[in-house]
Amino acid sequence: MSTENEVELVDAFYMLIESLKNNGIKNIFGIPGIPITALTRSWQADGGKYFGFRHETNAAMAAGASGYLTGVPGVCLTTPAPGFLNGLAGAANATQNGFPMILLSGTAGRRDTDLQKGAFEEMDQLAAARQHVKASYRVNHIEDLPIAMARAVRTAVSGRPGAVYLDLTHEMLTMTLPKAKADELLFTPVDPAPRQPADPAAIKRAVEMLKGAKKPVILLGKGAAYAQCDADIKALVEETGIPFLPMSMAKGLISDHHPLNAGAARSYALPECDVCLIIGARINWLLGHGKGPTWGNKLKKFIQVEIKADEIDSNVPVAAPVVGDIASVVAQLREGLKGMPKADAEWVGGIQSRVNASKEKLAPTLVKETAPGMMNYRNSLGAVRDVLAKYPETILINEGANALDNTRMIVDMTLPRKRLDTGTWGIMGMGMGSCIGATVATGNAVVAVEGDSAFGFSGMEVETIARYKLPITVVVMNNGGIYKGNEENAGGFDDPSISSFTPGARYDMMMTAFGGVGVSVDTPAALAAAIEEGIKSRKPTLINAIIDPDAGVESGRISNLNIERKKKA
């Protein structure tokens, strides 16, 4: 035996798998294929959990959801070129939302790719990824894998979280290394998301401003939910007595039933306030860019707690920027605000009476009976609300237009990080991937409320849900179309209109096709019973909820963003 043969060698798969494990990665979401099939198999052989999808975008959505819920980057592994591009859509969405994840992709050989010789699945993936993720790195040598993974994880979770792309070149994946050398190189990074307390002067400025406020509000965004300092945020609200409003995914960070929740008086609280403390939310389209009717057409004194310094003043001047991580800053603010008198009773009472009035107005519509097959968004979601109230640990995934807006308004959340939705981009197609990522990351049961259109973007993953026997109950709000199901062809022709789907479609049969539970319901009571059974049984379940085709409005509550046809002269 030659000396060379006595040296124990390891391959790139070993280095990659050990690096993932060193960084606390337990799950990979993806689709195998050339050249990463054996890598995927090796991960599973090594005891790693693997979830094989039907489309890479959904696998990347799962990775993003998992990253958001745990603070540990979710990992998505794809094949080159088209597989990579599909995954990139989910990575881009994660970056937009500030979810930490890592997209790993195999590539064609660099030699052929760079000379554009027409290799199998040839593509300059690094260049394609660059503008859609927080950072992208290429790994050209097996020895670099431990550092590459550490850089990917640190970039994904520090500062504003986001997606990182790691380009695993074909050449690198074929390399080997003496095991002794490999063991020297492998390491676990120390403190990848370090605390970043704010400058005491910034805290003082914010504290003075809050103390001087007559009509303060606190806006909580999904950054605040991500920060996982729930008790401190609740204490800040309760100690100051300042009403708070959650952005969509921050619902439940403090219970929707909390007496200081001003969410149901949004169109009063935001225009009327004088000082708005924003914790972990960008002042983007979802907040009317900080001006205009959402804010009563006057510039508010904004205090913005934000980790990314250049986010400040992105839309309107921010009077008191507080740059730091939310967990540190909220503790600093509480310290600085000690002994501050509670917010003005008249201001708080005025909000509370409006909240009560909104809720009282909404209440009867949530229990109104309709003829079978003629459910609307109000009474169907009233039923969803009542069931979920019994199972507050359930994670709610929500997408659509009317299905989204009405669920956000009607279905209360009482615990943090139990709601994921269309997010910053307002996208359709986050549904089934997020369901899978959420239950894999937490073990909790998941209920998805999906518009029938929204569901279609990721619907094939019901097979994945059934195959892995995941505790996911999908409710398809079936009104037979986008926005509505009864639009007629604008030209008066026989073929379907632009927004119509197959009338009477039986989405439930998609789940039974793969051995899961499928139920079709046409009343709120039957819907509630089917959801409860899904949650309790933890069986993959798909509920086809038949809604009045006329229920719904175009573009939901954001029709102002649509463009109407100009009137003919």
Residues near ligand FYN (CB under 6 A) are 248, 263-267, 286, 358-359, 362, 401, 404-405, 408-409, 422, 426, 555-558
Residue 417 interacts with ligand ADP (CB under 6 A): yes or no? no
CB of 507 to ligand ADP, least distance (A): 29
CB of 461 to ligand FYN, least distance (A): 20
Q: Which two tokens stand for residue 138?
A: 């290429």
Q: What is the DSSP letter of 498?
A: T
CB of 384 to ligand ADP, least distance (A): 22
CB of 241 to Mg ion, least distance (A): 42
Q: Other CB atoms closer than 10 Å to residue 47's CB: what's the count?
A: 9
Half-sphere exposure of 361 toward its Cβ, with a 13 Å CA cutoff? 9
263 or 280: CB nearest ligand ADP? 280
* Window contacting ligand ADP (CB under 6 A); options: 31-39, 247-255, 340-348, 483-491: 247-255
Residue 536 interacts with ligand ADP (CB under 6 A): yes or no? no
Q: Which of 132, 282, 301, 417 binds ligand ADP (CB under 6 A)?
A: 282
Which residues, 6+ apart, have CB-to-CB distance to 47 below 8 Å?
A: none
C-alpha 421/C-alpha 327 separation (Å) is 23
Residue 281 interacts with ligand ADP (CB under 6 A): yes or no? yes
419 or 484: CB nearest ligand ADP? 419
Q: Is the dihedral of CA 184, 187, 190, 192 positive or negative?
A: positive
Query: In DSSP terms, which residues pair with 305 in a beta bridge?
Result: 279, 322
Q: What share of the chain is helix, strand, coil (3-state, %, to 5)?
A: 45, 15, 40
Which of helix, strand or coil describes residue 522? coil
Of 95, 104, 48, nearest to 77 (Cα)? Answer: 104
Give the x/- contact pattern for Mg ion in 470-489, rule: CB under 5 A.
Answer: ---------x----------
C-alpha 569/C-alpha 566 separation (Å) is 9
Q: Which does 362 bind (CB under 5 to 8 A by kind): ligand ADP, ligand FYN, Mg ion, none?
A: ligand FYN
Which of helix, strand or coil describes residue 544? strand
155 or 500: CB nearest ligand ADP? 155
Q: Other CB atoms closer than 10 Å to residue 362's CB: what's the count?
A: 14
Residue 167 interacts with Mg ion (CB under 5 A): yes or no? no
Q: E-strand spans in 388-471?
A: 395-399, 419-421, 446-451
Go through 442-469 and write b for each residue having 16 or more CB atoms within 10 A of its CB, e for each that does not: bebbbbbbbbbbbbbbbbebbbbbbbbe
Query: Terminal CA-to-CA distance of the chain, rounded, Å?
Result: 91
489 or 559: CB nearest ligand FYN? 559
By beta carbon distance, the residue nearest ligand FYN is 426
C-alpha 329/C-alpha 236 separation (Å) is 11
Residue 289 interacts with ligand ADP (CB under 6 A): yes or no? no
CB of 278 to ligand ADP, least distance (A): 9
Q: Which of 451, 456, 459, 516 binds Mg ion (CB under 5 A)?
A: 451
177 or 278: CB nearest ligand ADP? 278
Give the x/- contact pattern for ligand ADP in 421-460, rule: CB under 6 A.
Answer: ---x------------------------------------
11 or 306: CB nearest ligand ADP? 306
Count of positions (residues) in the chain = 569
* Window contacting ligand ADP (CB under 6 A); options: 49-57, 236-244, 306-314, 437-445: 306-314
C-alpha 321/C-alpha 323 separation (Å) is 6
> Footprint of ligand ADP on this chain (CB under 6 A)?
97-98, 160, 221-223, 226-227, 247, 249-250, 280-282, 284, 286, 306-308, 311, 325-326, 424
